[in-house]
Amino acid sequence: MKKETISILGCGWYGVALAEALLAEGYIVKGSTTNAHKISQLADLGIVSFLLNLADKNEQFNTGFFRCDVLIICIPPRRNNAEAAVDYVSQIRNIGTIATTERVKNIILISSSGVYEDGNFIVNETNNPTPTSETGKSLLAAETFLRNHPDFVSTIIRFGGLIGPNRNLARHFAGKTGIANGLAPINLIHLTDCIGLTSTILNTKKFGVVYHAVCPDHPTRKDFYTKLCIESGFEPPEFINELQNWKQIESVNIPAVLSYEWKIRFMQSQA
């Protein structure tokens, strides 16, 4: 049986961990980086590595990266910068053109729950986002472009806030006082489930769907980060007992389409 090839555009914190997991499952994995010094590191892991910088319109690159069964796009826009947001959408359009030329059949875009504004509501994949931030607008524009493209099937994974190895969010709150919005719900996902969900989509071929990849547990910011700081050996923070603008991201598609069982639950904090 022919091994499928997965190309991961953007081998950062999530991309490298995903590549290692997919290699262990028997996939052929291609990975891209904009850092020439990282090429050998990726190759040492067994990743077929490519130097790719799609932000540089004059750069010549090896289109062999795009010869794959599934292309996973893991390049987020820079945060809340209008010019960068325009450039990001332009990059996604360029990727779409190359994917068409190279006959890519399936694309997975790693997006974010940040496409939803803080509208004081509970939302799932059936609710249309109306983002207010430049980052959210650019992500939604990229999603819309890919989903409407006639030459390939696009799957959207909207991750919540990312937590896991070398990304302990307790550090941002330790010892601080007067932290606003203490009663707002968290919308997080652990790296273990980022990989687990992506792998499940690939293995079951449940493409063409929007998935809200956010843990179904939503303790308050105060409860979660206080406990996480204590577990991490940090000084506990002090939150204000108030509920300002908030949102709670839920999923109907993950249980209904994937039947995925969450590995890391946030009622028990994980660093």
Beta-carbon contacts of residue 177 (< 8 Å; ≥ 6 apart): 237, 238
Q: Which fold has domain 5-163+188-216+248-258?
A: Rossmann fold (3.40.50)
**Best CA proximity match to 18, nearest among 88, 69, 73:** 73
Half-sphere exposure for 222 (CA within 13 Å, toward CB): 14
For residue 21, pLDDT beyond 50 = yes
Predicted local confidence at residue 89, as pLDDT = 92
Domain borders along the chain are 5-163+188-216+248-258
- Kindly tell me if the per-residue pLDDT of 68 is higher than 60: yes
CA distances from 257 to 86, 168, 238, 260 (A): 33, 30, 40, 8
pLDDT, tens digit (0-9, with 9 covering 90-100), for 247-260? 999 999 999 999 99
- Of the ranges 80-89, 159-168, 193-202, which one carries the lowest mean pLDDT score? 80-89
| Pair of tokens at residue 26 | 């028997």
Q: What is the pLDDT of residue 3?
A: 87
Say how far apart CA 271 and CA 122 lie, in whole Å: 26
184-226 pLDDT, tens digit per residue, is 999 999 999 999 999 999 999 999 999 999 999 999 999 999 9
Task: Name the residue type at position 260.
Answer: Y
Look at residue 2 and tell me whether its pLDDT is greater than 70: no
What are the structure tokens assigned to 112, written together? 């974010």
1 pLDDT band (50/70/90 cuts)?
low
The percent of residues above 90 in pLDDT, for the chain, comes to 87
